[in-house]
Structure 1
């Protein structure tokens, strides 16, 4: 059984940081031996042998050994060939039957949430948390309040809230929270991170009352028979609440940037993403890069509300600078399917969160604004990463891209984040324009049953259509959208291969892919998404020695057991940055 790796308690950051600091000399996951053979000007710094090597390079399949020099792969081949590269100071890494792969590349998550969310309550359902009902939510909030030494007026934040998993079968309301926390603003963030339930003090803090109009692209659930906000707000209506959440101190943010990297490294990730970065956060990352605090690579997506500021940073951060890269601009086009705010061409089969029938969701970014944003991003020489969950919003993006494709050049690699409920004709457009769907197969497990109820089998079964994309030769990726689902890359492999829901139903059997294809989505094709396929994504000579060691082989194990594979060690540019605390030599 997987030892709670998917139970996202933020205290793991501290544990991981201690592990990282203790990894400089010895690795528990493999034996490190000082070499004493003949020296050579081309000698390897490190030779790796003794286990399965999954290179993800079709020209270098099933080698026996790897040589590393100066943070790069020097050679891959037979034991005899690699041993010829041994010098007086070459070290040896014995895998002891374990499996080594390219380091995992995070196609989409929110690194900043790991930085900011210390002190938040985990309100997730099993297996991520322990919440079954509203009483459990209150209990978790009370426990976190005690941990935080909450004083009157202090904010209390929870994350992972999912009404579909509650025994009561309804949303939490402000009244449920006010009873226990009458003197504190409380926000419980929906698992989609596209909305939240607020209590009365939180509504007061953002000046929401019965007279507050619902903004375009937003949703405010009101009391039945009245207009007072009941608790749930989503999309653009939720933005003021996001802005009101208190920031951690500069010193704590600097510390948390290190802790967050340790957490990512413990999941085998060597390149992380911050899925939307506000400029003030980017300045913090710049300062960390200048201090030399980044030992992983961090690709950030600048907020679409601050394009001019990020355009000024392009010259310095188009490539990694101190471990920091501006990968592009994030545009949030629509909402979430589990929150029933994603924008479809056909209605949901169930009512909207506020009780409307024939509900299709609404765009956050409509056609005119999308045109302006795409023209601005492409015109600034930046790449667009567009959040679009459902087909109506994807239509809006595709229409804008077709208008302004010339501004982006011949190889724009525009990324459509999530691309969950799209059509075959849209996939064909992705292939035609070289676009990258960043799929999200974890939805099959966490909300597959909910999607069948809300959308019907035909649409639900075409969720993240990876097999169809592969047939068209599309470079697609897969991700966790952390903190929406746990970071765990091997779980994303498991969901892509098996597509099992919480109840054991296969959500779209025709869209299941092979373990090798699923690994490619988080290695070689993830590197392609960032335009880094020449330096990352496979164990190939000349590429970075970004590596992850596993205690099982995803290509040979029973596919249903892939999610139980453990990360034993992570190497960035040939240096150990994580070692499993329970690993034995």
Structure 2
């Protein structure tokens, strides 16, 4: 039997500039042998023809450059987010749209717990309840005055807890840890902002973390990715430097032939708000990379510099937030950040920096520039992750420094109306998620979902970047729209470039891995407003086929 298989399709969009569209692709040994017409592929010798995708469209497999396997927790624990959330089996968990509905859901969960169990839930964001007071410990006391309750916000940067937890952990009006919310009388409000404050809820926070780092979540995450056409995903809170004992379990899962995708980890060298011997961590990372396989790699390190815009903990330049209380604080100092960046940069380790606020972006760019002066590395491709409020001047600076931007474009749909009305204001919101500005400045961009914060899926990120429409129907920053082709590039080759993997994945061309997304229509051919309605039929990873559940949702 031949070792070459030729797949035919109604259309193949390759993202290869010399050969942009084809009707057939030949695969051998998990790699692309040829792309073109059926006759051109047949010229390579003995083969079999597989017509399973004859009526479908084949795209390069989507690449999620900022994912989290904790999105699988929405299948395994109580989801209390505002928007509906698609699960790995193709079903959907319904969102919570009011405080009353939240309390009702929590009471239902609480009734099924054992005596000493903590009530843990995920996905809350009080910003979606604008006519109601911000959720406090007293609201959660309606669920239980004796059981500890810990509700992680959608951003992962805040939590709201009840009075029983506050008392059990000894959190008081005198607690000095930054981020402990206080009410008008100075007593703890129940809101804990950023990891140093969240960790005061030691038992609940530890249990939430243990659930979040379970290696078994990665398979569920990959199944969610499969449903969205994603063939390579990332874990942007990789813990292989802090918990190296997890490495073997991860490899056992990801390297298995039936695992539907590839994973790239960006590992924390320290927990947010803490320090470490970063030179030692950099050496440990180089040793870690020796374990890399074609399906699981350690791509670099992740530094978390600030917090969440909708949680008012992202660090903004003047004039700050449009309304609400500015609770921002940096999770590192500019001086420490410079030394941290140098430790990894000088060893040619790629750095991804969480920068939601433009003040955070600025100090990261300062640190990169400082490192480049001391240690030349022309192809570093360090990444500003999220880059939601980066300014035009900062994008021009990124271009000169060789820095990339991975833009959290999904915020347009999930929080765009709130940013316009509450956090950024109706004028400044137009320049958020500035894809057009970045591209015009020459900055390589990708798009991401921050999976777990919003559902994984690049048909939605593309839809947001092309249309910039919010749930209320308003267009936020028409001048920052990009074309469907530019959005597809960002979701494929753009992300591959940032991962230093554009020589292997991101386009369908000879020599690259046979990683495809199979869909029912091309995002380059449909009405731009219909991009998110394209149906994902499945994926191909290294020539292996993985079908999406028949009841799976479309890109939205």
Query: TM-score normalized by structure 2?
Result: 0.89
8 A contact 2:386–2:408 mirrored in 1:
yes
CA shift for structure 1 position 458: 3.6
1:108 maps to 66
1:441 maps to 409
State the Cα deviation string for residues 233-276 of structure 1 (Å, max 9, x = none): 112322444873316989x9354332322222222111111111
Q: Distance in 1 between matches of 2:488 and 2:510?
A: 19
Which segments of 5 or more consecutive residues in structure 1 lack a partner in the other structure? 1-38, 354-358
Q: Which of residues 71, 79, 84 is equivalent to 2:43?
A: 84
8 A contact 1:334–1:362 mirrored in 2:
yes
8 A contact 1:164–1:170 mirrored in 2:
no
8 A contact 2:152–2:160 mirrored in 1:
yes
Q: Which of residues 127, 136, 139 is equivalent to 2:104?
A: 139
State the Cα deviation string for residues 45-97 of structure 1 (Å, max 9, x = none): 32111311110111112212100000000000112111334626x24134243
8 A contact 1:44–1:74 mirrored in 2:
no
Q: Distance in 1 between matches of 2:403 and 2:209?
A: 37
- For residues 108-127 of structure 1, the aligned pairs below 5 Å read 108-111=66-69, 113-114=70-71, 118-127=75-84
Q: Does 1:74 align with 2:36?
A: no
State the Cα deviation string for residues 349-382 of structure 1 (Å, max 9, x = none): 54444xxxxx483322221121121122223432
8 A contact 1:527–1:533 mirrored in 2:
yes
CA shift for structure 1 position 309: 4.4
In structure 2, relative to structure 1, the CA distance for the partners of 1:314 and 1:145 (3 Å cut) is farther
Aligned residues: 529
- For residues 96-495 of structure 1, the aligned pairs below 5 Å read 96-111=54-69, 113-114=70-71, 118-128=75-85, 129-146=94-111, 149-166=112-129, 168-215=131-178, 219-225=179-185, 227-235=186-194, 236-241=196-201, 244-246=205-207, 253-279=214-240, 282-290=244-252, 292-293=255-256, 294-305=259-270, 307=278, 308-309=280-281, 311-317=283-289, 320-321=292-293, 323-353=295-325, 359=326, 361-405=328-372, 406-407=374-375, 409-453=377-421, 454-495=423-464
Q: Distance in 1 between matches of 2:291 and 2:41?
A: 32
State the SS of the aligned residue for 2:22. Answer: coil
Q: Distance in 1 between matches of 2:201 and 2:541?
A: 37
Which segments of 5 or more consecutive residues in structure 2 lack a partner in the other structure? 86-93, 271-275
CA shift for structure 1 position 184: 2.0
Q: Distance in 1 between matches of 2:244 and 2:527?
A: 42
8 A contact 1:491–1:562 mirrored in 2:
yes
Q: Distance in 1 between matches of 2:362 and 2:100?
A: 42
In structure 2, relative to structure 1, the CA distance for the partners of 1:241 and 1:274 (3 Å cut) is farther
8 A contact 2:230–2:457 mirrored in 1:
no
In structure 2, relative to structure 1, the CA distance for the partners of 1:531 and 1:323 (3 Å cut) is same
State the Cα deviation string for residues 524-560 of structure 1 (Å, max 9, x = none): 0100001111100000000000011011211111111
Q: Distance in 2 between matches of 1:285 and 1:571?
A: 25
2:89 maps to none
State the Cα deviation string for residues 275-327 of structure 1 (Å, max 9, x = none): 11224555324323146445522111111316534632423426832622111
In structure 2, relative to structure 1, the CA distance for the partners of 1:393 and 1:253 (3 Å cut) is closer
Give RMSD over aligned pairs: 2.5
8 A contact 2:383–2:403 mirrored in 1:
yes
1:521 maps to 490
CA shift for structure 1 position 159: 1.7
1:18 maps to none
Q: Distance in 1 between matches of 2:540 and 2:125?
A: 35
2:8 maps to 49
Q: Distance in 2 between matches of 1:496 and 1:70?
A: 36
Q: Distance in 1 between matches of 2:347 and 2:455?
A: 34
Q: Which moved more, 1:262-271 or 1:276-285?
A: 276-285
8 A contact 2:282–2:343 mirrored in 1:
no
State the Cα deviation string for residues 82-118 of structure 1 (Å, max 9, x = none): 1334626x2413424321101111110112x135555
State the SS of the aligned residue for 1:312. Answer: helix
